[in-house]
Amino acid sequence: INAHVGKFDISASGWYVDYGVDAISREKTIYHKTNALMEADSEIGLGVNDGAANISAVAELNPRHSIGLALEFQSTRQEGPTDSYTSYRMGDYEQLNVSRYAMMDKSTRYAAALNYIIKTDTLGSTLKFIVDYNQSAPTKGEDSHAMIDENGIQTDSLYNYRNTSLFRIATASVARERTLSSHWKLKYGAKYTYNEINSASQYRYLNAGVWMPSVVDDFDISYAENIGAAYATATMNYGRFSAVVGLRGEYTYTDGGRESGVSQKYFSLFPNANFSFALDKSGKHSLVAQYSRNIARPSFWNLTPNRQQISDYTFQSGNPLLKPQYTDNITVTAVVAYKYSLTLGMNIRHDAIQQIVLQDPNNPQMMELTYKNLPTDNFYLASLNLPFNVTKWWDWNTNITGLISKQRITEDSEFEVNEVAQWNTNMTFKLPKKFFIDVYYQGMTSAKVSNIRMKGNHSMTFNIKKQIKDSWTLQCGL
């Protein structure tokens, strides 16, 4: 719903979804040193209930001053069982596991934002004050029951896990945009971000009718992250040449007290530059060069070390020791006839955050899917974009990208080089009587990231659409 009432522009929306997912997983692990074999079949049944509502309003106090407010609420709930059958064989020894994991994951989120904007001249200069707040309260749980047959001797186990968390994020920023002339623009500002993380987990198993602490350690992580940033960006346009040059500085201070072991202080600079040159007067052909440095901080879920059971021999967890990932991006793009383009580039990543499979040090039979900072994880790319108007009734757009990655999993390991190709193509056919056919195909070759190899994949979507008058569209797809 959107409405204009007096000086107010008001928007409100809401949605709710209820659906189920069934997934089947087959797993096979060969242990070469012990000549053992593990095979597992799992079936996951998942029910999902999601809903959200939001409302926002902007008031134009006068032609130069405006104020805006936005509020949002979201609720998510997922629950369902995982049934698993696992066989582990080593010589004459055989162990069979039949288990059920019943999981529950629910969360509520509240968000609010407020801004105040002042137009300082008639050229488009502005001064903005913005504050926002987000709060999320997820709860996770798992109850598991496993029946174990070890060379004909049967035992069973009962196990449960509970995790409760509270996350708060608040930001405050001031941003100034000044149009100095028709050739020059200047942007500068400052921002403060506060991240508060509270997460506690408890693991228990049943022994002689008493719930006992598990071999998996309970944990209670609480820490606050403070980020102060300042930036400045200059934009210049002169004839065929234009440039954008900027610099951002960030200071991060994180403290969780002695209990959490989380304590970080670091300052980072992030330069960026964009230069473009038109090869002809109309700008039909051009060259663009770009450089930027950015940071990717690990997410809450990547840091939280709670264990999520995938099968009897595989679990997933976060890594609280992850460091931020820094990336230097360099690209050069040639544009022909406004639409055809060729891009060459490279991404140099420092402490790249990647998923990796490791052996559990407490149980060599167990595989842990977790996250790690890789010492080297760079890639070099070439990307070609080709949009064609084949006929009046046939549009065809194709993008092809080739990647060469270079990585090391540990400081003393050798470099690994992997090649990957990605492509997507989209065709639209305009038929009589306002019928349309869309065909979309995308794919990629196999790829290796850290020590995980992903097979190549391909997908195709086919849609036929009928436009009814000017307001309705009927669509069927496969």
DSSP letters, 273-301, are EEEEEESSTT-SSEEEEEEEEEEEPPPHH
- Tokens 């990717």 appear where? 296
- The three-class DSSP label of residue 302 is helix
User: Looking at residue 361, what is its pLDDT?
Assistant: 80
Window from 91-100, 137-146, 212-221, 255-264 with minimum mean pLDDT: 255-264
Q: Which are the contacts of 249, defined by CB distance < 8 A and separation ≥ 6? A: 229, 230, 231, 267, 268, 269, 270
Angle (CA) 367-35-33 rounded to 5° is 65
pTM over cut 0.85? no
What residue spans of 117-156 are helical by DSSP H? none
Amino acid 307: pLDDT = 75
Q: Which two tokens stand for residue 245?
A: 């040059």
CB < 8 Å & 24+ apart, contacts of 374-377:
374/349, 374/407, 374/408, 374/409, 374/450, 375/351, 375/408, 375/410, 375/411, 376/352, 376/406, 376/407, 376/408, 376/415, 377/349, 377/352, 377/405, 377/406, 377/407, 377/408
- pLDDT value of position 302: 82
Query: Which pLDDT value is given to residue 360?
Result: 83
Q: CA-to-CA distance for 395 and 417, rounded, in angstroms?
A: 37
Query: At residue 303, what is the residue type?
Result: L
The answer to whether 373 touches 353, Cβ cutoff 8 Å, is yes
pLDDT digits (tens, 9 = 90+) for 208-264: 889 888 766 777 778 888 999 999 999 999 989 999 999 999 999 988 765 555 677
User: Mean pLDDT, to the nearest integer, of 432-453?
Assistant: 93
- Please give the Cα distance from 471 to 348 (Å, whole number): 48
CA-based nearest residue to 49, from 72, 22, 20, 23? 20
Model pLDDT, residue 195 = 92
Chain length of the chain:
478
**If pLDDT is split at 50, 70 and 90, which confidence band does 43 have?**
very high
State the average pLDDT over residues 9-16.
Answer: 97
How confident is the prediction for the chain on average, in pLDDT? 91
High-pLDDT (> 70) share of the chain, %: 98
Q: What is the pLDDT of residue 262?
A: 62
Please tell me the least confidently modeled range out of 195-199, 217-221, 373-377: 217-221
Percent of the chain with pLDDT over 90: 65
Given this model, what pLDDT does residue 257 score?
62
Q: Dig out the tokens for 148 from the structure.
A: 């174990």
The mean pLDDT of 342-356, rounded to a whole number, is 94
Residue 261 has what pLDDT? 56
As beta bridge partners, residue 224 has: 196, 255
